Amino acid sequence: MPPFVIAHRGDSAHRPENTLAAFASALEVGAVIAELDVQLTRDGHVVVIHDPTVDRTTNGVGRVPEMTLAEVRALSAGFPSRFSDAYAGERVPLLAEVLGLLEGRSKVMIEMKHDSVTDDAEGGLEARTIAEVRRAGATDEVALISFDRRALLRCRRLAPEMARGHLFHRAGVEEVLAGTREIGSSLALPEKDMLSEELADRCREAGLRLATWVVDDPAELAVLGRFGLYGVASNRPGALIEALQEGA
């Protein structure tokens, strides 16, 4: 079975990443899984943005955890350094808005960024993200993912019914297996340079699904096919979906 193509921050090669425009475009090209990143504003709102600052992708400056929702939403999220003013009307979306757009149309992988993980276990990013997912009725449509094992363990405790996935970068095979087991997950998400026959075999033996990131070239996807991947995250989901369909 070919891997699922995961729209990384939406159709982010063609629309400003992590915006409603990017996720709408991902749906248009046929993505059935979308990945997004969440941070927490100073006043406790879960917003969809990758960086801990707004500097790279908006027309403003500042740290998201130190800004109110109103301050974040006053900015254009049109990624002006890449798209000029073509998407100037885009705003940093609330998680609730993205879940509403994708409802019934796409599964969602929500990455909780390490920058917003704090000592507040009951009212921090994890708890508020889980509350938003439950409020949207999307419990069965969402997987909570992170590099931060503390965050994932909290998710296991706060929402054992929700799927989880452990992201890894420059980790050994044993760490991948142990970390994925510790959070009670069946999904391991190593970066593509970590992939090996040994890792693929060990994950298969352990009953783990293996997904990776970020793959934008169909030729590279073909090479990685030998690892029996469950999913591949891409900034160009349409190109990969088209290549898989042509090769079917």
**Token pair of 96 as six digits:** 């609730």
Is 50 one of the catalytic residues?
yes
Q: What does the pLDDT read at residue 248?
A: 58
Is 14 one of the catalytic residues?
no
Q: What does the pLDDT read at residue 93?
A: 98
Which member of 8, 14, 45, 169 is catalytic?
8
Express each pLDDT in 145-171 by its tens digit. Answer: 999 999 999 999 999 999 999 999 999
Express each pLDDT in 25-46 by its tens digit. Answer: 999 999 999 999 999 999 999 9
| β 142-146/107-112 pair status | parallel
* Reported pTM: 0.97
Q: The tokens 């749906």 sit on which residue?
A: 27
For residue 245, list its beta bridge partners.
none
Q: Are 212 and 195 in contact (CB under 8 A)?
A: yes
Which member of 50, 114, 166, 169 is catalytic?
50
**Phi/psi at 174 (5° precision):** -65, -35
What is the CATH code of the structural domain delimited by 4-49+95-247? 3.20.20.190
Q: What does the pLDDT read at residue 114?
A: 86
Query: How many CB atoms neighbour CB 127 within 10 A?
Result: 16
| pLDDT-flagged residues of the chain (< 70) | 248
Q: What does the pLDDT read at residue 159?
A: 98
Give one DSSP letter per residue of the chain, joined into a string: -PPEEEEETTTTTTS-TTSHHHHHHHHHTT-SEEEEEEEE-TTS-EEE-SSSBSTTTSSS-SBGGGS-HHHHHTS--S-HHHHTTTTTT--PPBHHHHHHHHTTT-EEEEEE-GGG--S-TTTSHHHHHHHHHHHTT-GGGEEEEES-HHHHHHHHHH-TTSEEEEEESS--HHHHHHHHHHTT-SEEEE-GGG--HHHHHHHHHTT-EEEE-----HHHHHHHGGG--SEEEES-HHHHHHHHHHH-
